[in-house]
């Protein structure tokens, strides 16, 4: 047990230290290269991006704050894994070998997902930063983003079914059921659902705090399920996020951007399935789902009732429009995130 705790704790600390170490240099590059959006968000979709939404984004520093801060998170994860793996290879003591948490069954798929999605998100961010065309000011077309997530989800589902032989789903307090090949579309739908919550990356520190809570919850679930390698992987991501948050406390030095939020949302889905606790994901990551649902409700209200249910969507901007300072929205979302992450964790462990 002690060694397992150390195996989870040490990589998280290393990732945090690595993140703190690389951030100043990366931050200087972000500002030197002016890696922020060259124009504020468009208001072409009046059902979603309202004038009030535009006003909020005009005063949040969207066009003067770098937006690829997510690089810090996944680069911290990658460097930590490389350092620990290299250390176990060069100095193959029992302790160093056991500290290495890179494994085919537990961490290879989420690592691949994290890096692949991060690169796609980075391309999206670069388009938003450097494109001179107004139609590309918001990056890749939303349909294309969905297709990319579908592609990632298809690969993940294929890996689960044909590599891991996993077709089951655990229902808390009921038991396991076999979905058969229905597991594949279910897997993809869940990933799309979590990805839709990526719009939460809109206020200083908001997405980082929510993601840190969610990955911490799955770290504990994986640990209690004796998936120590996966728990260590979650811990490393938390360490990277905390390093990001160190510089992202309002006023933010940079935003997470697509390279961070896309990578984290799809990886969170993978980990939820690997721990066989995907049905508690809407609880653990409640702010993500609530944010996504607020956008859906807003669109449906406009379409069928010809009125907006919220002052502004997504949900966090609704509270800003009500007069809440952004830091108050962030802190309260963090509190809600921690509470629901704890509830979801308890359900996953006793159910």
HSE value, Cβ hemisphere, 13 Å, CA-based, for 193: 19
Q: Which CA distances in Å does 154 have to 119, 185, 191? A: 18, 8, 10
Q: What is the mean pLDDT of residues 231-258?
A: 93
- The neighbour count for residue 296, using CB atoms within 10 Å, is 11
Question: What is the per-residue pLDDT for 92?
Answer: 93
Q: What is the mean pLDDT of residues 306-334?
A: 90
Q: What are phi and psi of 252, to 5 degrees?
A: -65, 140
Q: What are phi and psi of 178, to 5 degrees?
A: -95, 115
Distance CA 83, CA 90 (A): 10
Distance CA 297, CA 280 (A): 22
Task: Give the DSSP H or E segment for 329.
Answer: helix 326-350
Percent of the chain having pLDDT more than 70? 91
Let me know the angle formed at the C-alpha of 240 by 278 and 138, rounded to the nearest 5 degrees. 75
Beta-bridge partner residues of 168: 178
57-61, 62-66, 312-316, 343-347, range with the lowest pLDDT: 57-61
Let me know the angle formed at the C-alpha of 31 by 247 and 234, rounded to the nearest 5 degrees. 40
Distance CA 169, CA 257 (A): 32
Q: What is the mean pLDDT of residues 308-314?
A: 88
Distance CA 314, CA 59 (A): 17
Residue 57: pLDDT band (50, 70, 90) is low
Q: What is the mean pLDDT of residues 211-239?
A: 97
Instruction: Report which of residues 19 and 303 the model is more confident about.
Output: 19
Residue 252: pLDDT band (50, 70, 90) is confident
Upstream peptide bond of 337 is cis (omega within 30 degrees of 0): no
**Mean pLDDT score of the chain:** 89
Burial 125-156 (b: 16+ CB within 10 A, else e): bbbbbebeeeeebbbbeeeebeebbeebbeeb
Q: Would you say residue 42 has pLDDT above 50? A: no
Instruction: Report which of residues 126 and 48 the model is more confident about.
Output: 126
Helices 183-195 + 257-274 axis angle, to 10: 140
Residue 348: pLDDT band (50, 70, 90) is very high
Question: What is the per-residue pLDDT for 61?
Answer: 57
Name the most confidently modeled range: 45-59, 264-278, 290-304: 264-278
For residue 5 the two structure tokens come to 């705790």
Q: Which CA distances in Å does 112 have to 155, 159, 186, 306, 310? A: 10, 12, 21, 44, 38
Instruction: Report which of residues 262 and 136 the model is more confident about.
Output: 262
Task: From 85, 70, 105, select the one nearest 14 (Cα to Cα).
Answer: 85
Distance CA 76, CA 260 (A): 12
Distance of CA 284 to the CA centre of its chain: 13
Domain residue ranges of the chain, discontinuous segments joined by +? 2-350
Q: Would you say residue 243 has pLDDT above 70? A: yes
HSE value, Cβ hemisphere, 13 Å, CA-based, for 205: 21
Please write the tens of the pLDDT for every residue from 70-119. Answer: 999 999 999 999 999 999 999 999 999 999 999 988 999 999 999 999 99
Question: What is the per-residue pLDDT for 6?
Answer: 94
Q: What is the mean pLDDT of residues 225-239?
A: 97
Upstream peptide bond of 314 is cis (omega within 30 degrees of 0): yes
Q: Please say whether the beta carbons of 202 and 252 come within 8 A.
A: no
**What percent of the residues of the chain are helix, what percent strand, and what percent coil, each to the nearest 5?**
70, 0, 25
Enumerate the H helices of 93-182 as residue ranges: 94-99, 108-130, 142-158
Question: What is the per-residue pLDDT for 157?
Answer: 94
Beta-bridge partner residues of 71: none
- pTM of the model as a whole: 0.92
């Amino acid at each position: 047990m002690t060694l397992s705790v150390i195996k989870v704790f040490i990589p998280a600390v290393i990732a945090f230290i690595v993140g703190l170490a690389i951030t100043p240099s990366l931050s200087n590059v972000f500002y030197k290269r002016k890696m922020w959006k060259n124009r504020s968000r468009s208001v072409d979709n009046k059902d979603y991006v309202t004038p009030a939404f535009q006003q909020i984004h005009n005063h949040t520093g969207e066009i003067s704050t770098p937006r690829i801060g997510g690089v810090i998170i996944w680069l911290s994860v990658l460097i930590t894994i490389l350092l620990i793996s290299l250390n176990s290879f060069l100095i193959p003591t029992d302790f160093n070998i056991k500290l290495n948490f890179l494994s085919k069954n537990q961490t290879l798929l989420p690592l691949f997902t994290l890096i692949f999605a991060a690169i796609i998100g980075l391309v999206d961010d670069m388009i938003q930063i450097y494109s001179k065309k107004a139609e590309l000011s918001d990056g890749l077309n939303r349909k294309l983003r969905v297709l990319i997530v579908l592609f990632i989800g298809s690969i993940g589902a294929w890996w689960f079914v044909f590599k891991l032989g996993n077709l089951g789903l655990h229902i808390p307090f009921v038991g396991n059921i076999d979905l058969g090949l229905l597991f594949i579309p279910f897997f993809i739908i869940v990933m799309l659902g979590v990805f839709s919550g990526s719009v939460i990356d809109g206020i200083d520190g908001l997405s980082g705090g929510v993601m840190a809570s969610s990955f911490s919850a799955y770290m504990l679930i994986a640990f209690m399920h004796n998936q120590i390698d996966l728990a260590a992987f979650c811990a490393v991501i938390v360490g990277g996020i905390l390093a990001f948050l160190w510089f992202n406390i309002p006023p933010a030095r940079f935003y997470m951007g697509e390279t961070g939020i896309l990578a984290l949302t799809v990886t969170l889905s993978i980990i939820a399935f690997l721990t066989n606790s995907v049905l508690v994901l809407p609880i653990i990551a409640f702010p993500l789902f609530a944010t996504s649902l607020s956008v859906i409700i807003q669109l449906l209200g406009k379409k069928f009732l010809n009125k907006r249910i919220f002052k502004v969507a997504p949900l966090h901007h609704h509270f800003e429009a009500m007069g809440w300072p952004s830091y108050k929205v962030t802190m309260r979302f963090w509190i809600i995130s921690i509470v629901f992450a704890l509830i979801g964790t308890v359900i996953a462990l006793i159910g």
